[in-house]
Structure 1
Amino acid sequence: MSQIDRLVEYVGENRWEMLTDLAFAIAWVTIVSVLFDVVDGPQWAYYLFMFSGVLAYFLLYGMSEAAIERE
């Protein structure tokens, strides 16, 4: 099996998860960008909010995986 075939298979199996991840990232960056355009906060706080999006994603992902395992 070639690399391309493996990539196509992986994307086919994980299509909805990848779209959900992309939607979360786009929504988070949009919300933080709009918020900091309105508030005109400091640059370090902007980066802190962006990094907290990474933490929020993994927390959300971990909680959903734990909920699925309990069922």
Structure 2
Amino acid sequence: MSLVDTIRDHVAEHRSGMVVDLVFAVVWVTVVTALFDVLDGPTWAYYLCMLAGVVAYFTFFGSLDAARDRDD
């Protein structure tokens, strides 16, 4: 199996999850950027909020998985 076939299979298998990840990232970056454009906050706080997006992502989707496991 070639590298291209491996990538194609991976994308086909995880397509919906990849789209959700992309939407979450785009929305998070858009909201934080718009907020800091309005508030004119310090650069370090902007980067801290961007980093908080990683924590928010794993917390949100981790709790979603836990809720789905509890329902099953």
Report TM bin, short chain: over 0.9
1:10 aligns with 2:48: no
1:1-71 residue pairs with structure 2 within 5 A?
A: 1-70=1-70, 71=72
SS in 2 for 1:14: helix
Task: Say which structure, 1 or 2, has more relative contact order (CA 8 Å, 6+ apart).
Answer: 1
Instruction: Compute the RMSD of aligned alpha carbons.
Output: 0.8
Unaligned 5+ residue runs, structure 2? none
Moved over 3 A (4+): none
Structure 1 position 68, deviation (Å): 2.1
Structure 1 position 5, deviation (Å): 0.6
CA distance in 1, matches of 2:9, 2:69: 25
TM-score, scaled relative to structure 1: 0.94
Q: Count the aligned residue pairs.
A: 71
- Report % sequence identity: 52
Unaligned 5+ residue runs, structure 1? none
1:42-66 superposed Cα distances (whole Å, 9 cap, x missing partner): 1111011100000000101211121
TM-score, scaled relative to structure 2: 0.93
